[in-house]
Amino acid sequence: MRTIEADYLVVGAGAMGLAFTDTLVAETDATVVVVDRNDQPGGHWTAAYPFVRLHQPSAYYGVNSRSLGSDTIDHSGLNAGYYELASGAEVCAYFDAVMRQHLLPTGRVTYLPMSEYLGDGRVRTLGGEEIEVTARRVVTTHVEIIVPSMRGPSYDVAAGVECMPPNALPRLREARGRYVIVGAGKTAMDACLWLLRHGVAPGRLTWIKPRDSWLLDRAAIQPGSQFARGVLRDFSNQLNAVLEAESLPDLFRILEDKGCLQRIDTSVEPTMYRCAILSKAELEELRRISDVVRMGHVQSIEPGRITLEGGTLDTDGSALYIDCSADGFARIAPTTVFTDERIALQAVRTCQPAFSAAVIGHVEATYPDNETKNAYCNPVPYPSDPIDWLRMMLAFNKNQLQWFTDPDMMAWVDASRLNVLHHVSAGVSERAREKIISVLNSNMPVINDKLEKLLAQGGYPES
């Protein structure tokens, strides 16, 4: 058995694994083995549907040391007026370049693609070779991402029913009279928008939505000096909404009124929140779909009939079903980030997994013991229900208060291109930036107390 010695064994070459490795290699002289089951870096991006794009601007996605995209604003399409969103192909090419042009040339990174991590430092390659990696710490991604192409439908599909993942849509060559989109998340939204963009009339779409979702507005997370005031206003509005709210339903009403959250159908109370981001133009397009089925999850499909949790639905027997029901980010309970032999990569800032992994890499490189490191990196739970908006904010606020106590940490956070607020602070004066931090630092304990009171009340529907 071949043996490789390294300081770290990183399991997975997805966005979080590479963001961590990139920061660690940049800030230490550590050696790293990266093992991945895929043929190329990129994690779930390598299995995503061809028309997928980032939800967020390319400007703050990827790894710290290498920019993604050309830092330009789109002038056409549903993202017009906002910073570019990298396509799935661009993201895969980017991560491949990160590995081959940046990490491997250091001579301190060993990359083992098409290999399975067996545990206890053992790796098996596609060719059957077993490799023992002796490492001080094993780094795993404590996040499970499942996209439709990774598994079949979670419901029964009878013979004679045409059901496909969104990956197959660009290969269609004949129009269908009826398209049925199964799923309520961002993948389903993307599938609906793709069909509408290619001339399918909204009247030919049936959208099965087990839950409606609260959504973020892409206008509020833009980089660039011209957007700085708007981004800061949105952030301030979120904090003020917490202070003003008397209950959880009241909070979400205020967040919507202030433009911090939006929903496709304003007559339906959302019971889902997954950090999905839409532009106002995308939102208006999706509102054109009127045949929306809210009868719970699909249980089975047979020619001409769909059985759901809430009953049955007759449909066109020749309909094409697009399965978008994969869970995306699966619900996994947060765990301690740093232990003696393991680092569990997970969110430490709301809705920013790549930045979170880079933070963990920096903290690992900088601070001396697990107790200190964990104080800087309390896990932020990935959301599913609306109430998780509060849980995420509370957890991140506690991390942020810890960062505020350390000027060196704040300097690193400010300089990180993966941090949304880095792009905002670049658009305001140093004096204004210091004032913002001072106000946040003084108000955060009050805001956290209010968040805990609202969470204790309950009273908002959960799935």
Instruction: Kindly state whether residues 11 and 75 are assigned to the same domain.
Output: yes
Q: What is the pLDDT of residue 215?
A: 98
For 358-371, the pLDDT digits (tens) are 999 999 999 999 99
Residue 389 in domain: no
Instruction: Kindly state whether residues 194 and 318 are assigned to the same domain.
Output: yes
Residue 430: pLDDT above 80? no
Instruction: Kindly state whether residues 308 and 353 are assigned to the same domain.
Output: no
Q: What is the pLDDT of residue 460?
A: 64
Using CA atoms, how far apart are residues 219 and 263, in angstroms rounded to an integer? 15
- What's the 3-state SS for 127-179? CCCEEEEEEEEEEEECCCEECHHHCCCCCEECCCCEEECHHHHHHCCCCCCCE
Please give the radius of gyration of the chain, using alpha carbons only, rounded to the nearest integer. 23
Q: What is the pLDDT of residue 83?
A: 96
Instruction: Kindly state whether residues 132 and 162 are assigned to the same domain.
Output: no
Final residue before a domain boundary, out of 323, 338, 365: 323
Instruction: Kindly state whether residues 195 and 269 are assigned to the same domain.
Output: yes
Segments forming the whole domain that contains residue 362: 2-144+329-376
Q: How far apart are the first and last CA of the chain?
A: 49
Instruction: Kindly state whether residues 94 and 175 are assigned to the same domain.
Output: no
Q: What is the pLDDT of residue 224?
A: 85
Q: What is the pLDDT of residue 463?
A: 45
Please report, for residues 80, 123, 455, the alpha-carbon distance to residue 77 in angstroms, rounded to integers and kept in the order given: 5, 45, 39
Instruction: Kindly state whether residues 140 and 169 are assigned to the same domain.
Output: no
Using CA atoms, how far apart are residues 179 and 202, in angstroms rounded to an integer? 10
Residue 207: pLDDT above 80? yes
Helix/strand number for the chain, H first, E second: 12, 20
Q: What is the pLDDT of residue 114?
A: 98
Q: What is the pLDDT of residue 422?
A: 79
Residue 133 in domain: yes
Instruction: Kindly state whether residues 164 and 273 are assigned to the same domain.
Output: yes
Residue 250 in domain: no
For 88-132, the pLDDT digits (tens) are 999 999 999 999 999 999 999 999 999 999 999 999 999 999 999
Residue 463 in domain: no
**CATH code of the domain covering residue 314:** 3.50.50.60
For 232-269, the pLDDT digits (tens) are 899 899 999 999 999 999 999 999 999 999 999 999 99
Q: What is the pLDDT of residue 329?
A: 67
In which region does residue 325 sit, left (phi positive, over 0), alpha (psi from -120 to 50) or beta (all else)? alpha
Instruction: Kindly state whether residues 117 and 61 are assigned to the same domain.
Output: yes
Residue 78 in domain: yes
Residue 208 in domain: yes
Cβ pair 350, 178 in contact under 8 A? no
Q: Whole-model pTM? A: 0.95
Question: Residue 247's closest CA among 75, 433, 387, 67?
Answer: 387
Residue 222 in domain: no
The string of DSSP letters for 247-262 reads SHHHHHHHHHHTTS-B
For 40-92, the pLDDT digits (tens) are 999 999 999 999 999 999 999 999 999 999 999 999 999 999 999 999 999 99
Instruction: Kindly state whether residues 303 and 351 are assigned to the same domain.
Output: no
Q: What is the pLDDT of residue 87?
A: 97
Instruction: Kindly state whether residues 173 and 294 are assigned to the same domain.
Output: yes
Number of domains in the chain: 2
Cβ pair 185, 145 in contact under 8 A? no
Instruction: Kindly state whether residues 194 and 280 are assigned to the same domain.
Output: yes
Please report, for residues 35, 123, 140, 151, 158, the alpha-carbon distance to residue 111 in angstroms, rounded to integers and kept in the order given: 6, 12, 15, 27, 43
Residue 258 in domain: no
